[in-house]
Amino acid sequence: MAAARGYNAGRSPQAESDPLASIETIRADFAFLDDWEDRYRYLIELGHTLEPLPPEAHNETTRVRGCVSQVWIERETRHDANGRTILHFRGDSDSHLVRGLVAIAIALYSDRTPQEILATDALTAFRELGLEQHLTPQRSNGVRSMIERIRADAYAPA
């Protein structure tokens, strides 16, 4: 398997201190990986880079409805250096592959203002990565549910 920029299949992502990859890095890595099996492995490794979600955050309030797998997304309101309100997201899933999809959604949306979140077309981003045609309809519905949940959080950031 060819190694993508910033991607090393032999590494142990859980042991790394690197933060979640940026969406630009994810796009570049996806473009570099030729084989969908390699891309699936990369997705699974992305899931290992998620900021840990505390056990108490695995609850009905943070659970994303509409996903076949269990998915939890927690929102924290913060302020950036300019004093603007930004939303920071953490997520988890009981599925390794879905954790990778959560990682992509978080790379797209976390630490952005509510206005930036609402202006981001995540479905197009997932489509550009080629995920739409390589996910089951149930997983695609789950991705839409995650995006809808994050967008709903952006409408009510308090």
What is residue 132's predicted lDDT score, i.e. its pLDDT? 79
Q: Please, which residues have CB within 8 angstroms of residue 15's CB and are 6 or more apart in sequence? A: none
The answer to whether 67 is a known catalytic residue is yes
Residue 139: CB partners within 8 Å, gap ≥ 6?
68, 97, 98, 101
Q: For 116-152, b where at least 16 C-beta lie within 10 A, e where not — what string?
A: ebeebebeebbeebebeeebeeebbebbebbbebbee
The pLDDT assigned to 9 comes to 46
Catalytic residue among 4, 21, 50, 67: 67
Q: What is the pLDDT of residue 114?
A: 96
**What are the average pLDDT values for consecutive 10-residue runs of the chain, which has 158 residues?**
43 39 91 92 96 95 93 96 95 96 96 96 90 86 95 84
> Domains in the chain and their CATH numbers?
13-155 (3.90.1010.10)
Give pLDDT, residue 1.
37
Can you tell me the distance from the alpha carbon of 65 to that of 29, in angstroms, rounded to the nearest whole number? 30
The residue assigned the tokens 């203002």 is 113
Q: Which residues pair with 78 in a beta bridge?
A: 86
Write down the pLDDT at residue 157. Answer: 59
